[in-house]
Amino acid sequence: MPKPLKIAIAGALGRMGRQMVEAVAADPRLELAARFHRLGATGEGLVERDEALALADVIIDFTTPAASADFAEACAVRGGPALVIGSTGFDPAELAAIAAAAKTVAIVRSGNYSLGLNVLTGLVEQAARALGPDHCDIEIFEAHHRAKVDAPSGTALMLGEAAAQGRGIALGDVARRGRDGVTGPRPPGEIGFAVMRGGSIVGEHSVSFLADGEVLTLWHSAGDRSMFARGAIAAALWVAGQPTGEYDMRDVLRR
C-alpha cells in the first residue's frame, strides 16, 4: 500500500477548513500532517504556516485571496509543497503572484471544487459554442449564504469564462455585472450576471441561453460543502504527481 499523501489545511478554523480537516482525516489515502490558521492563531493543535509547509506534500487552502497568494509565494520560495487553492475574488496582482509561483511549484486553482459543477462548466462551453450571439443571449445567476463576501462568485465567473471561451471572446469585453436604471436594449453578445445573497445557501448556479421562443438552462445546486471537500481531495491526489504549473479542475478531471 502506498504511503499516505501528507496534507496541511490552511484556514483550518474556517467553515471550509473544518470540512477539509474532517474529510482528510477520514480518507485512508491521506495523512492530516498539519493544521494552521491566520498568523498568531493558537490552540486546537494548530501550527505556524512555515511548519505546516515543511510537513506537507500538498497544502489545501480555502482562505482569502491575499492569504492564498502569500501561501503560493511561500511554497515557491521553498520549492514546495504543491498547493490546492479554493479561494475566490482575486485581484490581478494576486493572480499574477500565483502564476509566478506556479513556475516553481504545481498549483491547482479553481473557483469551485464540485466535480458536478466542473462537468457543468464543460457543458456551458459546448452550449455557448453551438448557440452563438446571433441566436442566444447568456445570463448567469448565482445565490450564496449571507456571509459570502465576493460577488459574482468565483464559480459564476468560471462559468462566464467557459461561455466566453466557447464563443472565442474575452469575458471582460462582454460581461455585464449588474443592471440598474434605464440601461437600454441588451447589446448582442453580452454575458449577464445576477447575484442573490441570504440565509445559509451553500451555492446555486445556473446559466441560461435565451433565444426567441426558447430557453435552455443548465443548473447546479450544492447541498452541502462535502462535495467541495471531495473535489479538493481529488485535486490534491492529482497535483502531487504533476510538474510545475497552474492547473484547474478540468485538468484534474481529464486525468
- Find out whether 59 and 48 touch, Cβ atoms under 8 Å: no
CB atoms within 10 A of CB 5: 22
Angle at 109 between CA 107 and CA 113, to 5 degrees: 125
Q: Which of 6, 37, 148, 205 is catalytic?
A: 148
Sheet holding 137-144, edge to edge: 175-176, 191-197, 137-144, 203-211, 214-222
Whether 3 is catalytic: no
Residue 207 DSSP code:
E
Catalytic hit among 37, 144, 205, 220: 144
Say how far residue 44 (Cα) sits from the centre of its chain.
27
Residue 144 annotated among the catalytic residues of the structure: yes
Q: Does an H or E element contain 154, and which? A: helix 154-167
Helix axes 226-239, 15-25, angle to 10 degrees: 60
Give the catalytic positions in this structure: 144, 148
